[in-house]
Amino acid sequence: MFPKSTSPVANRAVIRSVTRLISNKSKNFEPENVVLADALNLLSPTTETVHHETTNSTFKPSLFSNLTRGSATEQFKVDDLIKLPTKTTTTHITENYVHNLLLGISSSNLVNKSNISALGEMSSKDLTTFIKSIKDEQRIFELIELFYSQNKLTLKVLTDLVLNKSVINLEKSPINLLELRNNANLDWDELSYTQFNIILLKKYHDLRKPLLIIKNLRENFSSKYYPLIEKNRLTSFYERIVWKFNFEYIKQFDELYYIKRLNSLKSSFLIWESSSENNLKIVQSILEIHTLNKLQRIFLTVCANDLIQRDISQELSVGNVSKTLSNLKKISIKYQIYNLSEYPTNENSRSVYYSLINNVENLILNELIDREESQNLELLQLLKEIKQFREQYVMKLFRKNEWTELEQLRWVEAQLLLGTKG
């Protein structure tokens, strides 16, 4: 007996499915890996499907297809690729803007530690004191970064930061200290850039890097520093630094050469204040070459006095440092003797002259007493001239202004106290 046959309808459905499968396979054969990729939804839809869905769809390349069949340009004609509209931007983000943004982010720790507005409100003197109190190099670099990002890094501020004793690794600075002109946020004049190069001389000295001092001077002395000195464009602070290291490390010509060549009383005094040698020859040269007022001549004559010079020589022979010479130079620097007028003309200048005379007078008296040279006629004569100058040009203003005797006494006492503090 034959088994019961299946339903004719079911048989016909199976036959149609098999026939359709064979037909599709023969007409549109796909490799097994593509079928697998399609099942995993790794393949992108066909262009027809994309077109039916939307004409603005974004092209999504297939990672699997790209690896197995090549890039899109290899699989399709260039014209068939979906062309995405190019997004244009109207906002131009400059390199400077991005740099400042990064600086702002990197200095966020500093912002948390210090109030920026408080730093900005500090006076120049208070800010200098604050910077000197910092003992951490990284902290100094953060401040450089902060002031730079805020466009507030002035020559004075950068000088205070760099000369901080905790700064040792200049190459780690957030800005290029050797090529300041390449830093976008600095808009200094040319003189300021040169003055900072002079500051680096002092910093190299503090770090005991003589080769860098020599390199700096060879690159800048003849081309930049000396021309500015000739034009009297460097303040005494910067010029003194240049002379000091030029005579110590280069010294192409000696001090007397520059004194005669420049014929400037200011430069002559600064050369004497800066040089560690030939102090007597320099003083004698200044006395010979320049026209001096009475107080300038008295001071330089004291410096050239035989007793004073003998004292200086003895001190130098013992420890390479002369206390007497240092005291004379301090007086010259403090009162800017090269810049003194013939006599005081107002209350402020009178105070300066009185204090200066008091200091020189004390120095002479100390020398005479300590060395038991009460018969040194030249120093005694200079002492007499100083007293006469004080009477004629300083005290005379009291009578001119009709001060009372009590007011005169109080003023003199005040100047004596200032002289002691100085």
Q: Give pLDDT tens digits for 113-126.
A: 445 567 777 888 89
pLDDT reported for residue 33: 52
**Highest-scoring range by mean pLDDT, 35-39, 87-91, 103-107, 240-244:** 240-244
Nearest alpha carbon to residue 367 among 303, 317, 321: 303
Residue 47 pLDDT > 80: no
Mean pLDDT of all residues in 79-85? 45
Closest CA to 144 of 157, 163, 129: 157
| Spatial contact of 148 and 180, defined as CB atoms under 8 Å apart | no
Distance CA 300, CA 280 (A): 10
Q: Is the pLDDT of residue 68 over 70?
A: no
The predicted structure's pLDDT at residue 118: 74
Residue 262 predicted with pLDDT over 90? yes
| Model confidence at 196: pLDDT above 90 | yes
Residue 100 has pLDDT above 70, yes or no: no
User: What does the pLDDT read at residue 372?
Assistant: 66
CA distance 308 to 329: 13
Question: DSSP label at 181?
Answer: G
Q: Most confidently modeled of 134-143, 373-382, 397-406?
A: 134-143
Q: Mention every residue, 6+ apart, whose C-beta is less than 8 A from residue 184.
A: 95, 96, 99
Which of 3-7, 139-143, 388-392 is most confident? 139-143
**Mean pLDDT over all residues of the chain?**
77
Please write down the long-range contacts of 202-205, taking CB distance under 8 Å and 24 or more positions apart.
202/163, 202/241, 203/162, 203/163, 203/167, 203/170, 205/245
Task: Note the pLDDT of residue 248.
Answer: 94
Residue 409, classified by CB atoms within 10 Å of its CB into exposed (0-12), middle (13-18) or buried (19+), is exposed
Whether 34 shows a pLDDT value over 60: the answer reads no
Band (241; pLDDT cuts 50, 70, 90): very high
Residues with Cβ within 8 Å of 405's Cβ and at least 6 positions away in sequence, in order, are none
Output the six-digit token pair for 19.
């026939």
> Which CA distances in Å does 223 have to 218, 244, 267, 418?
9, 18, 18, 42
Model pLDDT, residue 50: 45
Mean pLDDT of 231-235: 96
> 48-57, 226-235, 242-251, 310-319: lowest mean pLDDT where?
48-57
**Bigger pLDDT: 388 or 260?**
260
Residue that wins the pLDDT comparison between 318 and 246: 246
Q: Tell me the pLDDT band of 349, cut-offs 50, 70 and 90.
A: confident
Residues 6+ apart with CB under 8 A from 135: 166
Confidence of residue 19 (pLDDT cuts 50, 70, 90): low
Written as six digits, the tokens of 148 are 């730079």
Asked whether residue 60 carries a pLDDT value surpassing 60, the answer given is no
* Length of the chain, in residues: 422
| pTM, two decimal places | 0.68
Overall average pLDDT of the 22-43 stretch: 50
Please report the pLDDT score of residue 81 as a whole number.
Answer: 44
Binned at pLDDT 50, 70 and 90, residue 61 comes out as low
